[in-house]
């Protein structure tokens, strides 16, 4: 019987293995893919946004109001930076986001794998665990390939449901449910939004800087500023990813969702009105179609005029009615898009929801439902904002579980 088996060789499983093995614990990772840590390679567009210099519980979300402060205090930005610096990763700080100086996610996986190898951690790949059962002492694990494994302690580090091609399909939820855990309905986050607005298609491929507000049943859900990208079927870009959690949860609850873009967040409505009249007065000989040239991306002008219901755009500016100017200002300050949910797990970066967080002891990452069972990373119902927070959660929970399984006392 092995000391510890870690199911899932992703971000949290690899850190848990390193921490436990450094303490002299015999560790075995069982990974369903042909290699460990494949998902790390695609993080941060291949650059791996591994953490953030500003980490607080505010950037994390869960169905339950759980206190995750202790996890982040125990293994926050400094600890992550030091852990990876010891392994050879020099940090590159962009704003608050932290990347490896090489700007290559492969470096992060390389150093984790080198350390696993140095510590003699056993790695079994191409093996999918389908069930784990308690024994009189410890656990028995069964694989789809027909093998059986035994261990005193098990860490479930199976991740969420995003990027199914990388081995994440929610099987971990099923295994944990059978052991008495509750599954809080998962939903995809950090993902593109879908909109039926015809304007998205018209502006496809165009980026605008805007203040984005998302409203669920008329109530403001979240507000973010940044570069929005229009796509064939909706909207994308950093602020969209950040607010996607609100949209995805609303879609799950079948709630009406709308999004507005303030294309000129630095101007008040009154200032916007004055600006438009200044432009009209300066060039009365120009047409309505030409009014916004130089203020807005060309591909955005027609959709804005259409959304403001301004007809006959070849009229001279001096013919533009007061009401029309007001409608134009309204669109420029709150360009409205109805939202029909988000793209699915295939395109999402993270799964929200998961194994109920209140069923896990955050001091040890031990399950409160089954003895000698530990749960780390994205499989649990805690998710972070875009910006390195999800990998941080994986590293932190992996670290704590790795320490806990190496203690001799009964952790339940
Ligand atoms: C495209 C993309 C970009 C991202 N970019 C960032 C970023 O820049 N910064 C950031 O903070 N986060 C990012 N994330 C999120 C981050 O990668 C995850 O939150 C993090 O990897 C979760 O770690 P984990 O250990 O919980 O799970 P994972 O890293 O998903 O690992 C789970 C592992 O378990 C294995 N597994 C699953 N089920 C079984 C089973 N039954 N038997 C055996 N093995 C199993 C899987 O194959 C996988 O290797 C990104 C995610 C994606 C998809």
Q: Are residue 177 and residue 306 in the same domain, yes or no?
A: no
Q: Are residue 333 and residue 363 in the same domain, yes or no?
A: no
- Sequence-separated (6 or more) residues with CB below 8 Å from residue 110: none
Rounded CA-CA distance 333/315 in Å is: 23
Domain assignment present for residue 410? The answer is no
Residue 102 has a CB neighbour count (10 Å cut-off) of 16
Domain assignment present for residue 412? The answer is no
Domain assignment present for residue 349? The answer is yes
Residue 45 has a CB neighbour count (10 Å cut-off) of 9
Domain assignment present for residue 79? The answer is yes
Q: Are residue 323 and residue 365 in the same domain, yes or no?
A: no
Q: Which two tokens stand for residue 367?
A: 């399950």
Q: Are residue 165 and residue 43 in the same domain, yes or no?
A: yes
Q: Are residue 232 and residue 315 in the same domain, yes or no?
A: yes
Q: Are residue 204 and residue 301 in the same domain, yes or no?
A: yes
- For position 410, what pLDDT does the model report? 46
Rounded CA-CA distance 326/338 in Å is: 21
Under-70 pLDDT residues of the chain = 164-168, 408-412
**What is the number of domains present in the chain?**
2
What one-character-per-residue DSSP string does 16-71 give?
A: HHHHHHHTT--EEEE-SSSSTTHHHHHGGGGT---EES---GGGEE-SS----HHH
Supply the DSSP symbol for 192. P
**Cα–chain center distance at 12:** 15
Q: Which two tokens stand for residue 67?
A: 């206190």
Residues 154, 372: contact at Cβ < 8 Å?
yes
Q: Which of 309, 326, 343 is the last residue of a domain?
A: 343
Residues 310, 327: contact at Cβ < 8 Å?
yes
- For position 165, what pLDDT does the model report? 65
Domain assignment present for residue 21? The answer is yes
- Sequence-separated (6 or more) residues with CB below 8 Å from residue 130: 142, 143, 144, 171, 175
- For position 164, what pLDDT does the model report? 61
What one-character-per-residue DSSP string does 323-340 give?
A: HHHHHHHHHHH-EEEEEE
Average pLDDT of the chain? 95
365 phi and psi, to 5 degrees? Answer: 70, 15
Q: Are residue 155 and residue 232 in the same domain, yes or no?
A: no
E strand or H helix that includes residue 198: helix 198-202
Candidates 40, 11, 20, 12; CA nearest to 122 is 20
Q: Which SS3 state, helix, strand or coil, does residue 277 take? A: helix
Domain assignment present for residue 278? The answer is yes
Nearest ligand 1 atom to the CA of 392 is 11
Q: Which of 316, 343, 370 is the last residue of a domain?
A: 343
CA 159 to ligand 1 center in whole angstroms: 5
- Sequence-separated (6 or more) residues with CB below 8 Å from residue 407: none
Q: What range does the domain containing 128 cover?
A: 2-188+345-405
Q: Are residue 136 and residue 32 in the same domain, yes or no?
A: yes
Strand partners, 210: 226
- For position 169, what pLDDT does the model report? 80
Q: How buried is 241 (Cβ within 10 angstroms: 0-12 exposed, 13-18 middle, 19+ buried)?
A: buried
- For position 409, what pLDDT does the model report? 52
Q: Are residue 174 and residue 79 in the same domain, yes or no?
A: yes
For ligand 1, atom 5: residue with the closest CA? 43
Q: Which two tokens stand for residue 163?
A: 């990027």
Domain assignment present for residue 411? The answer is no
Supply the DSSP symbol for 164. G
Q: Which of 12, 349, 379, 380 to mutate to test the pocket of ligand 1 (most atoms within 8 A of CB)?
A: 349
Q: Which of 39, 46, 130, 387 to mutate to test the pocket of ligand 1 (most atoms within 8 A of CB)?
A: 39
Q: Are residue 264 and residue 360 in the same domain, yes or no?
A: no
Q: What is the pLDDT of residues 294-304, one digit of tens each?
A: 999 999 999 99
Domain assignment present for residue 138? The answer is yes
Nearest ligand 1 atom to the CA of 30 is 43
- Sequence-separated (6 or more) residues with CB below 8 Å from residue 119: 17, 18, 21, 22, 27
CATH number of the domain bearing residue 119 = 3.50.50.60
Q: Which two tokens stand for residue 140?
A: 């028995």
Q: Which two tokens stand for residue 25?
A: 């614990």
CA 273 to ligand 1 center in whole angstroms: 48
CA 304 to ligand 1 center in whole angstroms: 40
Q: Are residue 351 and residue 394 in the same domain, yes or no?
A: yes
For strand 219-231 and strand 207-216, is the pairing parallel, antiparallel, or unpaired? antiparallel
Q: Which of 317, 343, 369 is the last residue of a domain?
A: 343
Q: Are residue 255 and residue 332 in the same domain, yes or no?
A: yes
pTM as predicted: 0.94
CATH number of the domain bearing residue 336 = 1.10.8.50
């Amino acid at each position: 019987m092995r000391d510890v088996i870690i199911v899932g060789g992703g971000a949290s499983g690899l850190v848990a293995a390193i921490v436990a093995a450094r303490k002299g614990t015999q560790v075995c990772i069982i990974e369903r893919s042909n290699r460990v840590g494949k998902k790390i390679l695609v993080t941060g567009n291949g650059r791996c946004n591994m953490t953030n210099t500003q980490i607080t519980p505010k950037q994390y979300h869960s169905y339950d109001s759980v206190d995750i402060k202790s996890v982040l205090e125990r293994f926050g930005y400094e600890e992550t930076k030091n852990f990876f610096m010891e392994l050879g990763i020099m940090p590159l700080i962009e704003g608050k986001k932290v990347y490896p100086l090489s700007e290559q996610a492969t470096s992060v996986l390389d150093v984790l794998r080198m350390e696993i190898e140095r510590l003699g951690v056993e790695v079994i790949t191409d093996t999918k665990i389908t069930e784990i059962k308690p024994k009189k002492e410890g656990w028995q694990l069964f694989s789809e390939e027909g093998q059986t494994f035994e261990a005193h302690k098990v860490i479930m580090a199976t991740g969420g449901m995003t990027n199914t091609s990388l081995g994440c399909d929610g099987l971990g939820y099923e295994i944990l449910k059978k052991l008495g855990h509750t599954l809080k309905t998962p939903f995809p986050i950090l993902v593109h939004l879908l909109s039926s607005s015809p304007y998205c298609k018209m502006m496809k491929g165009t980026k605008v800087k805007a203040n984005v507000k998302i409203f669920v049943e008329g109530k403001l859900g979240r507000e973010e500023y940044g570069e929005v990208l229009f796509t064939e079927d909706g909207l994308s870009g950093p602020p969209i990813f950040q607010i996607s959690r609100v949209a995805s949860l609303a879609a799950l609850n079948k709630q009406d969702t709308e999004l507005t873009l303030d294309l000129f967040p630095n101007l008040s409505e009154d200032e916007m009105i004055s600006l438009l009249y200044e432009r009209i007065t300066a060039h009365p000989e120009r047409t309505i179609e030409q009014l916004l040239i130089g203020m807005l991306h060309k591909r955005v002008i027609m959709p804005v005029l259409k959304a403001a219901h301004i007809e006959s755009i070849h009229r001279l500016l001096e013919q533009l009615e007061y009401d029309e100017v007001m409608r134009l200002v309204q669109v420029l300050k709150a360009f409205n898009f109805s939202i029909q949910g988000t793209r699915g797990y295939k395109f999402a970066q993270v799964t929200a929801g998961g194994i109920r967080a209140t069923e896990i002891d955050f001091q040890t990452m031990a399950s409160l439902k089954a003895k000698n069972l530990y749960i780390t990373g994205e499989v649990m119902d805690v998710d972070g904002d875009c910006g390195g927070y999800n990998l941080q959660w994986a590293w932190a929970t992996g670290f704590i579980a790795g320490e806990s399984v190496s203690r001799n006392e009964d952790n339940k």
